[in-house]
Structure 1
Amino acid sequence: MMRDSEQCLHEGVASKRRKVPGNSLCNLPMDILSTILSLLPINDAIRTSVLSRKWKYIWCSHTNLTFNKGTMRKTYFKPSTGYYGFIRDKEFVTKVDTVLRQHSRMGVERMEIKFRLHSEHADHIDRWVNFAISSKTKKFVINLACVSKSMLFRAGGHWISRKEPYNLPSELFSPDNSPYLQCLELRTVSLQLPSDFKGFLNLKSLTLVDVRIIDDDVQRMLSKCNLLEFFEISYCIMVTSIRVLHPLDRLKHLVVGICRKLQDIVLNCSPTTLEYTGAMIPLILASTSRLTNISVVLTTYQSALSYISTGLPCTSPRLETLTLLCHERERTIVPRGPFKFTYLQNLRLELVISSYESRKTDVLAGA
């Protein structure tokens, strides 16, 4: 009798528990579930499709599409190496095509393609670019070298490949894409602007690394992006001059790195941050009154202390941080002129001393 009453009590409690509404993820609205999945890498988000019928298509509204050898890796694991299987070009292309074919093409915030591809994959990459356009992607990244900038530096400023780089289609620069694109990052591609290029109305960040682009197209891009706040151009071997007389009033951060043929920089802007790596060249800005951070790495032999007083903009009243790396062969001589950076708080001065002759005096003698 006692056992029967205990069993009834247990069944009653279990019944009540079953009736209590659960607080699982399944009870959340679809838009919230989609937002949660967008915080996961695309490959992990796709795996949730096997959980239930409700979860089957939630990932199709993923807002952050990052395609690289990590997110598109093979599913099997090699215990001997501790790494996932190597993914080849053909498999990578097939996986990306499959994902984009099932995606809803709505609400894409960021799309990144990072894999070593070339012009022979142009048909596939063209489709991916058109997907980014049709889905109104805000941040678009194409990195077809899959190497870091430090590797480019060691390679002499250009990643050498036996194959022709992929040429971006003119559709990417069409007026239809202008209102949505806010960030564009291009690496190891070839770019030629169409004659009717009208600019990107809302572009705030532009990065060109190891891009085959001519001076005129650089000028046209900058002069027709009035909201640009960040601009980087590095390892572009065809660029000889960066001259833009059109005012770039919003530009805050300027990064120029090892463009081997670059001879001068003339920009109508007043940035707050300046980073330059390369040979000693004329650098003319409309104003340096807002500069608070300067980082310069000179790849040619130059007196560091002399460069501070003569090469750097001396009218930078707000400069707080200065980083300077120079290569020198002769004795460092302190300039006699006054030091004009009155608000400077942090100074990092790195001198690389090299000489083919044996020295008889200290390199800082007389300093």
Structure 2
Amino acid sequence: MSAWRRSFFVLPHHASIPKANLMDKQCSQEHSNKGDAFSRVVKPNLAEPMQLQLLPPDILRDILSWLSIKQFVRMSILSREWRRLRICHPDLVFTKDTFGINTAMDIDKSMTVGELLNMHAKKLELLNRKFIDNVDSVLRPLWSTSTTLDKFVIKFGLRREHKHYIDRWVSFSITSRAKHIALDFTSDGSSCDSGFDKYVFPLCDLSGPNGSCIMSLDLGYIFLKLPLSFCGITNLKKLTLKMVSINGGDLQRLLLSCALLESLSIEMCSDLSSLCVPQELSQLQYLRVRYCGMKMLELHAPNLTNFVFDDSLMHTVLSESSKLSEAIFVSNLRVLNGYDDVLDDIFTELPAALPHMDTLLLLLTSSQVQRFSNTRDSFICLRHLNMNLNISLYPDDDSWVMGFVNLLELAPLLEELELHMDHYRHCSSNLRMVTAAQGPLHRHLKSVYMSGFSDVSGLAELAFYILENAIVLERMVVDPVTGMKEDLNTERFYSVSKAGSSEEFVLPTEGDRYCLEEMRLFAKMNLDREEFRHVLTVL
């Protein structure tokens, strides 16, 4: 099969035919004839051109499935023979990279603002025209065929003015019974969510039997309005909305009409001020709400297992989600340190909002950790805590430590703690006396991993406190190497226990090594005591 992937215009003499295909060819005289034709192609006269029409359609389609979409598109545009055969790749993914379109612009600093805007508009118009022509050149031979797709993706900065072309592509994807449809028009300067130029997606075309094959729908920079006759996307399991204009009532109707929905992601949907669905979303397992500015989220999702949210979401009620195993909280306000009073309300309500949560991952600054000092309700089911912490205070300010100790106290059943800190380094020449922070005993904490360990005030005291008060502690690892970066826009989580489970989680192994020996010496001088050596490892 690797030989097919390298070249299928002229197959090498030693290329083998799949046994299953040979057996099929022997089932009838017709298949036998096809097998003979295939044999003639496998052992061609290299002086003669390849006779593609001699290959059965199922073989051609199988060959195409081994090509990348870029190779397929290049071949479809350049080869008249392949266009005449009308064989379709099962995954049609059209992006600027698919066609090698360069959207970068050379700017002349001597230009006025008006000239720059005019140049930008003309360049954008040319790029859109080129993208549309390329997509049409691939799809045009397939309009009248009975094509079956697995995936259909359009990702380019198109707008409502291109409705004629987009409508045709959407109709083709539905007719081709695509399982996964994505229309992402957020690129190329659509960060300003005006909404006036958004493409109006024809949801009515997916309603009922027409959209019965669709399992996932990914929409970006789209306007959605549910028609009165909308009766749901029958088998939809995954819905992703990014910069989509839709009101809360229509979104509620949409969710309730998709009975099999398992995954819902809502990002940068500024029209949504709240989302309250009184009826049960019985199949929903994954929920992500980011940058939406919702004041209220209330869902009845008994099978919800994963929840991702941020400090734009003020109030959350998921009290019936008894199977919630993991919640991820990312603070957007960590890039605006000092403007995070809103966290007082969020952290105060968090234990009651997510009472069944087993694993909690937090991306915060050290100043925000202090907010947990005001929290009184307990995380009664929390067993795994991972905090990615941007050090944002002066080296001698340890006020954040008591907030962290209070957080540990709020999780009496906690068994595993990971604390990963950014690459802040303060290599002080002055030695200080380290004493354990004050706090209660922990009767369940067994494993602790700290990366980015440094002499910032309070950190050694926190480690010392855990060593003394975690009475069943089995292992503590202190690692001076920092995986986290200072870039506050990075939203990947550093984790030891979850590394490799997805692209969002990485190991903190290849990071900043500044002052590494000094930090390792500091850790050993203050923590490496006889009574702790059976559990402590300083890397």
Q: Same fold (TM over 0.5)?
A: yes
Greater mean deviation of Cα atoms: 167-176 or 108-117: 167-176
Match of residue 33, structure 1, among 52, 60, 77: 60
- Give 3-state SS (helix, strand or coil) of 2:246's partner: coil
Question: 1:73: Cα distance to partner?
Answer: 3.2
1: CA distance between counterparts of 2:238 and 2:212?
14
Q: Which has the bigger relative contact order, CA under 8 A and spacing at least 6?
A: 1
The answer for the alignment partner of 2:454 in structure 1 is none
| SS in structure 2 of the partner of residue 88 of structure 1 | helix
Q: How many pairs align?
A: 324
Who is 1:130 aligned against?
Answer: 171
For the pair 1:112 / 2:148, whether they are aligned, the reply is: no
Supply the distance in 2 between the matched residues of 1:141 and 1:365 (Cα, whole angstroms).
45
Of residues 188, 205, 226, the one that matches 1:193 is 226
1:244 corresponds to: 277
Change over 3 Å in CA distance of 1:340–1:40 after alignment to 2 = same
- In structure 1, what is the equivalent of residue 137 of structure 2? 98
Specify whether residues 304 and 282 from structure 1 end up closer, same or farther in structure 2 by C-alpha distance, changes over 3 A only: closer
Please provide the CA RMSD for this pair: 3.6
Q: How far is 1:133 from its partner?
A: 1.7
- The 3-state SS of whatever aligns with 2:199 is coil
Q: 1:173·1:193 contact (CA, 8 Å) conserved in 2?
A: no
Q: Which residue of 2 aligns with 1:204?
A: 237
Identify which of 315, 340, 348 aligns with 2:355. 315
3-state SS of paired residue (1:71): coil
Mapped partners of 1:22, 1:102: distance in 2: 24
Counterpart Cα distance in 2 of 1:89 and 1:28: 36
8 A Cα contact 1:251 1:269, kept in partner: yes
2:180 corresponding residue in structure 1: 139
Please list every run of at least 4 consecutive aligned residues from structure 1 whose deviation after the TM superposition is greater than 6 angstroms.
Answer: 24-28, 49-52, 303-306
Structure 1 residues 299 and 339: alpha-carbon distance in aligned structure 2, compared to 1, 3 A threshold: same
Runs of 5+ consecutive residues of structure 1 not aligned to the other structure = 1-19, 76-85, 153-157
Give the secondary structure class of the aligned counterpart of 2:71.
Answer: helix
Tell me the equivalent position of 2:249.
216
- Which of 293, 297, 300 is the aligned partner of 1:265? 297
How far off is 1:188 after superposition? 0.5
* Matches of 2:156 and 2:327, distance apart in 1: 33
Give the whole-Å Cα distance in 2 for the aligned partners of 1:306 and 1:165: 35
Distance in 1 (CA, whole Å) between partners of 2:396 and 2:173 is: 63
CA distance in 1, matches of 2:349, 2:382: 16
Post-superposition Cα deviations, 1:97-143, rounded to whole Å, max 9, x if no partner, equal 22211123411111001111111111111111111122121111001
> SS of the residue aligned with 2:331?
strand
Quote how far apart the aligned CAs of 1:233 are.
0.7
1:1-367 matches, within 5 Å, as 29-48=56-75, 57=84, 60-73=87-100, 88-103=127-142, 104-146=145-187, 158-160=191-193, 164-260=197-293, 262-270=294-302, 271-299=304-332, 301-302=340-341, 310-312=349-351, 313-316=353-356, 319-325=358-364, 328=367, 331=370, 334=373, 339-344=379-384, 346-350=385-389, 353=392, 362-364=398-400, 366=402
Specify the alignment match of 2:514 in structure 1. Answer: none
Checking the alignment, whether the CA contact within 8 Å between 2:314 and 2:346 is kept in structure 1 is no
- Structure with higher Rg: it is 2
Structure whose residues are more often strand by fraction = 1
The one-character-per-residue Cα deviations of 1:240-276 (angstroms, maximum 9, x if unpaired) are 111112221111110001112x110111103111000
Displacement, 1:211? Answer: 0.5
Code of the residue aligned with 1:341 in structure 2: it is: C
For the residue of structure 1 that corresponds to 2:223, the secondary structure is coil
Q: Conserved in 1, the CA contact under 8 Å of 2:69 and 2:92?
A: yes
Q: Residue 311 of structure 2 contacts residue 343 of structure 2 at CA under 8 Å; is this kept in 1? A: no
Alpha-carbon contact 2:180-2:215 (below 8 Å) kept: yes
Check whether the contact 2:369–2:400 (CA below 8 A) recurs between aligned residues: no
Gaps of 5+ in 2: 1-38, 44-49, 103-123, 334-339, 406-539
CA contact 2:348–2:376 (8 Å) conserved in 1: no
Q: CA deviation at 1:175?
A: 2.5
Q: Distance in 1 between matches of 2:231 and 2:195?
A: 34
Name the amino acid aligned to 2:155: K
- Offset from partner CA, 1:325-348 (integer Å, 9 cap, x none): 36847955645665523532x411
TM-score (norm 2): 0.53
What are the Cα deviations for residues 292-312 of structure 1, in whole angstroms up to 9, with x where unaligned?
Answer: 211112345158799556424
Preserved CA contact (<8 Å) 1:272 1:291: yes
- Cα deviation for residue 278 of structure 1 reads 3.3
